[in-house]
Amino acid sequence: MQKVLLLDNQNRPINICTWKRALILLMKGKAVNARRLNDIESMIKIENVLIPNVIKLTYDLAVPYKELPFCRENILVRDEFICQYCGKKFPADELTLDHVFPKSRLGPDIWENIVACCRHCNQKKADRTPKEAKMKLLRRPFRPKDYLIFELKKCPDYLVRQWIDYFEAS
Ligand SMILES: [Zn+2]
């Protein structure tokens, strides 16, 4: 899914949205192209429509505190698709989620208790704590703090580079 960087009307990054959301904001006049020139390379082409990859809100926004959704995708991104026991990197569909303190013993579904884990390590660990299974965690699981930086991790490098160029040029 193509992503667009959304700025507030003071040019501060506030969000990364899908091209669909960007298109709606542009069509409703709630946002405009933030780039000074219609630089084709920085446009996303969807059929015959060109959407800039940086847009700017046209109105004042009191940015509400945004809680990062607790979901499988975000846990895998936090753990960089690395099994937190064996340290190897896997494609998303080969990773499972492991409850560090086992779910069968009422380990909670919270950021601090769930890690990315390959199938092999998950089977090996089974319903045990890392200590009982004699398996060491790469790092303690944590709740990611900065929403925007976290969202950036999900975007392809070339896109992040274009956004950085935007700020360097403006
Ligand atoms: Zn593993």
Tell me the CATH number at 76: 1.10.30.50
Give residue 37's pLDDT: 65
Residue 37 lies in a domain: yes
> 134 C-alpha vs ligand 1 centroid, how far in Å?
13
For 18-170, where are the alpha helices, taking DSSP H only? 19-27, 72-78, 119-125, 130-133, 147-153, 157-169
Return the number of other C-beta atoms located less than 10 Å from residue 30's C-beta. Answer: 13
Whole-number average pLDDT of the chain: 90
Please state which of the ranges 88-97, 98-107, 126-135, 145-154 shows the lowest mean pLDDT.
145-154
89 and 80 Cβ atoms separated by less than 8 Å: yes
Distance 67 CA to ligand 1 centre (A): 29
Same domain, 12 and 61: yes
CA of 75 to the centre of ligand 1 (A): 15
Considering the domain architecture, whether residues 82 and 128 belong to the same structural domain is answered as yes
Same domain, 129 and 150: no
**Shared-domain flag, residues 40 and 84:** no
Report the number of distinct structural domains present in the chain.
2
Ligand 1: centre distance to CA 10 (Å): 45
141 assigned to some structural domain: no
Average pLDDT over residues 4-18: 89
User: Looking at the domain assignment, is residue 29 inside a domain?
Assistant: yes
In a domain, 157, yes or no: yes
Identify the band that residue 101 occupies on the pLDDT scale cut at 50, 70 and 90.
very high
Clarify whether residues 8 and 56 are in a common domain.
yes
Is 165 inside a domain boundary? yes
Is the pLDDT at 145 greater than 70? The verdict is yes
Using the mean position of ligand 1's atoms as its centre, give its distance from the Cα of residue 170 in Å: 44
Beta strand 3-7 pairing with 54-57: parallel
Q: Is residue 86 part of a domain?
A: yes
What residues make up the domain containing 48?
3-66+146-169
Is there a domain that residue 24 lies in?
Answer: yes
pLDDT tens digits for 25-74? 999 999 999 887 667 777 888 888 888 989 999 999 877 667 889 999 99
